[in-house]
Structure 1
């Protein structure tokens, strides 16, 4: 049985294999929150303009 290889032992290693397939949870949370806030702002502006609030 061969010993475990470290990343330095790989010859033709693809650098993308070392990337985490999922983004950081904090980045995901901030992105989702920003999208929700922008969407809410657009809905509010649409309703305000359609109801002639200004």
Structure 2
């Protein structure tokens, strides 16, 4: 496996995007759609967090 893929996987582990270190050995495998959707919602929540009224 290419070194850049391994480094990307390590960064994902450190950031909490990937939770299982065994995925580092399977970075070339297809990703299920539910994983992509979970990542998309995590990104949306970080970029546009729910607002709370202070009134």
Normalising by structure 1, report the TM-score: 0.32
For the pair shown, the structure with the greater C-alpha radius of gyration is 1
Higher relative contact order (CA closer than 8 Å, sequence separation 6+): 2
After TM superposition, the score normalised by the length of structure 2 is 0.32
